[in-house]
Structure 1
């Protein structure tokens, strides 16, 4: 068993992107056996997704949540049935109840308010630093470009978070093709921002999309290896939980926001109680839906130099024009208490519901599962430098608000989990 290695720098995008798309589409169509093979492959995936969407619609019609839920104490005790594990793999989403005790999460929230206030963030704020969601119909969520507060770092290096991340990482096939693609029991620390949305907010939400690669999913050789069963008409063999080659992919350079790490799950932890009808996260809980997105772009009603609107340095948008079947499957998270965390497989389509006159706060801190591998280890070294300097991580705009801030988390505050996650041990 060997350990996976990969390049880490962003990949240079083609000088002539439309030509590259035309060439790649011709190549992929040939692999699928020409026009008839392309249509047959898509019909197979479409039928699979249709059945899953019907299942989601049945849950929604009953007013039930399809999201698997588990209490943190059961994860910590290993009290997890095989049936529950399979449910997580089927839907690709999970709610962890009491990830942090409710009062601790509310205290995190209070500390974040103090951190922002004592450093007079409102007077310094210069507005959004990126246009990553620029292709989506959305009003920008209330994202604060803050990374190094005590609550965020304490949550990232918490033993409770480490146990949840390990549980999630173990849902993946992390050894295949004679390679160990990542260490499921050791996460790298991937710093992200916070969201604070006050009561009374009106927001058009955030359109359906996936992250971590847009046109790259068709054009780059490493992604073609990840989806080789999809692109060769062997959908029955496609396993969205096989990590093979996923740690080898990179995104095209040039964007102000991207993801330089491999994440098994994206996630956030609630810092306030949140009702499922108050502008919350919605997903299409079908991990295999990426196969539908990829093959949809190869159909003959899509222009030869187009991939259903996908563009470099943007999220991969999902919409009614090209993906009406997937849009039927959007379903909201259940009601949450402060301290609960929500997680979704890296390929899962997700969105944020619109809201008028939001009732209560909508506050979260973004913490994913990003297991240690060669790719993530390299990014962790960069993260550690930014942590020491109080600057913004490389995957986000260089806004650097926290350089001179009071009460920033320091190296003296790191525990063993934090030091390992930053690659300092």
Structure 2
């Protein structure tokens, strides 16, 4: 258990459990689904361990408009992809050099405090230019269009072919040392996955026992899902189809890179049903993961991996071998394949991900965080507030705020300005009105 956090949730969450599944028919359906999910997890676990990083799909930027249906299906099932050669190596390295100079000459906020490597910066020239790069925007559009609606009719006001720019941070991680703050987790919502009606509807088939029918790429309920009911800082209120980053260095497994759980369907199915099952008091077999050693139970407020924390709000999902044992997190979390400057890495908004705690390489591991964000009514509303933050040089709305502009990036040397935003990047940043908005 993390210090200052508790897995004991308010009593209303016991009522929520009962409201969702409190009848005999539901218990029977969900128990059957649970047992099927456990069997499939076992098979997938063996595949992931045997395959290693190559289980994460890899494509070249030049291929995105001509991928086979089999490759697309693999990308969607894994929930992650490495896209090579999105930006020219030389340009990516220039951005790296510029960021190094920026943090050298400016008083910047970052972690760890005694050796800053993860920077709470959003508006450097490198970041602004990277987000508006035409290839980055094209990749974002392609990722957004992997989503759709069951009837083929995208809701009014939604434009998957019009990417928006979401300002996030960057890292320049040094070799050696240890990072412990990015253990397996999912962003973009905590208890909201069960508590918020619209967010919960994204997983309706799972809660009905028809887990194989769950489509992680159904955009319909995502649009109005409230991923931040409690306004906790660093909790994205924007719908990101994929989270992602642009590599600014050569980084391979073991060098502080990203790790993914490579099956978004299975992880969603298990995660959503996990609160309704617990180990039996008297095990039937010696294997704690044996389905016979687990039973349907809605007698507690616990939602494994969800925690209350100091200051209010809910944290998680944070997954471990203790909270989600059948996912065998310690074995299955897979390092992404080696990347080079200008490559991009993306993972579906529901994918369990982490950062390797150790960097045993010799060089820095650097990346700018750039997700894929579609044009939706709620996202466009956020974009206008973000645009104002950019012009003022203060953190974007989803991130911890400063008292005034003097505490933001405005006084720094090397900030991005409007003229650094190129082409379609102006629309993505809210400086031109989107068609049909």
Q: How far apart in 2 are the matches of 1:70 and 1:376?
A: 28
Query: Do residues 304 (structure 1) and 300 (structure 2) align?
Result: yes
Report if the CA contact (8 A) 2:242-2:346 is conserved. yes
1:393 equivalent in structure 2 = 396
Partner of 1:322: 323
SS of the aligned residue for 1:344 comes to strand
Deviation for aligned residue 1:18: 1.7
Return the alpha-carbon distance in structure 1 between the equivalents of residues 263 and 116 of structure 2: 25
The 8 Å contact of residues 256 and 313 in structure 1, kept in 2 or not, is answered as no
C-alpha distance in structure 2 between counterparts of 1:82 and 1:320, whole Å: 34
- Say whether the 8 Å CA contact 1:205–1:355 is kept in structure 2: no
Distance 1:174 1:148 in 2: 34
Aligned to 2:164: 188
Match of 2:237 among 252, 257, 260: 260
When the two structures are superposed, what TM-score results if normalisation uses the length of structure 1? 0.86
- 1:360-379 matches, within 5 Å, as 360-379=363-382
Displacement of 1:88 after TM fit?
Answer: 0.8
CA contact 1:209–1:315 (8 Å) conserved in 2: yes
In terms of mean alpha carbon deviation, does 28-37 or 262-271 score higher? Answer: 28-37
The residue correspondences of 1:406-421 to structure 2 (distance < 5 A) are 406-421=413-428
Shift in CA distance, 174/419, structure 1 to aligned 2, threshold 3 Å: farther
Normalising by structure 2, report the TM-score.
0.84
Identify if the C-alpha distance between structure 1 residues 172 and 34 changes in structure 2 by more than 3 Å, giving closer, same or farther: closer
Query: Cα distance, 1:189 vs. partner?
Result: 1.0
Structure 2 vs 1, CA of residues 269 and 175 (structure 1 numbering), >3 Å: closer, same or farther? Answer: same
1:136-194 deviation line (CA, Å, top 9, x unaligned): xxx99931011011111111111100111112112212464854273221111100000
Structure 1 residues 169 and 141: alpha-carbon distance in aligned structure 2, compared to 1, 3 A threshold: farther
Maintained 8 Å contact 1:201/1:358: no
Pair 1:246 & 2:222 matched? yes
How far apart, CA to CA, are the structure 2 residues paired with 1:348 and 1:316?
Answer: 11
Alpha-carbon distance between aligned partners in 1 of 2:121 and 2:373, rounded to the nearest angstrom: 19
Partner of 1:211: 187
* SS across alignment from 1:96: strand
Is 1:338 aligned with 2:327?
A: no
Distance 1:380 1:185 in 2: 16
Structure 2 CA distance for partners of 1:23 and 1:257, relative to 1, 3 Å: same
Does residue 1:85 correspond to 2:72, yes or no? Answer: yes
Which residue of the other structure, out of 238, 252, 270, is the alignment partner of 1:292? 270
CA RMSD of aligned residues (A): 2.4
Q: Secondary structure at the match of 1:267?
A: strand
State how many pairs are aligned.
393
Looking at structure 2, the residues matched to 128 and 392 of structure 1 have their Cα atoms a distance apart, in angstroms, of: 19
**Secondary structure, counterpart of 1:65 in structure 2:** helix
Partner residue of 1:166? Answer: 141
Pair 1:404 & 2:404 matched: no
Q: Runs of 5+ in structure 1 lacking a partner?
A: 1-15, 130-138
